[in-house]
Amino acid sequence: MNPSTPLPLVLILCTGNSCRSHLAEGILRAAAQGRFEVASAGSKPAGYVHPMAVAALGEIGIDIRSHTSKHMNDFLTRNVETVITVCGNADQACPVFPGQLNRHHWPFLDPAHAVGSEAERLQVFRQVRDEIQRVFTAYAAGRLDATRGKQ
């Protein structure tokens, strides 16, 4: 890989950019091994990252405490290679970004709507985290395998 060439950007979109997209961003960034850039944003950002998303990823050694909730329009001037939507509303609201080559829609349950005790709600975050981890680590592995073949 040429050090002067920017890394391809994978943008993960959700409506609120408070839970699912941050779970996916943290997991994919860890799995990407620095081979591509990962960011997340929302069509209607909540303005915060859900503390239970932070806790759920912290349990598996991924720290997203520095993440912020961003609007997808912040990326309209960036070269976005791949867009992955993780909820139906974001899929419908998603614009085409400059340089976009790929688009995937992988919807997940919104853990922010979980009800019950704090422990019960955290369990929902863990379940969604684990589903996202299965999908996004497989995606990263496929991308890494593909780039190895091109070297």
Q: Give the catalytic positions in this structure.
A: 14, 87, 94
Contact 26, 57 (CB under 8 A): yes
Judge whether 90 and 42 are in contact, CB under 8 Å: yes
3-state secondary structure of 92: helix
Shortest CA distance to 132 belongs to which of 114, 113, 106?
106
* Burial environment of residue 66 by CB neighbours within 10 A (0 to 12, 13 to 18, 19 or more): exposed
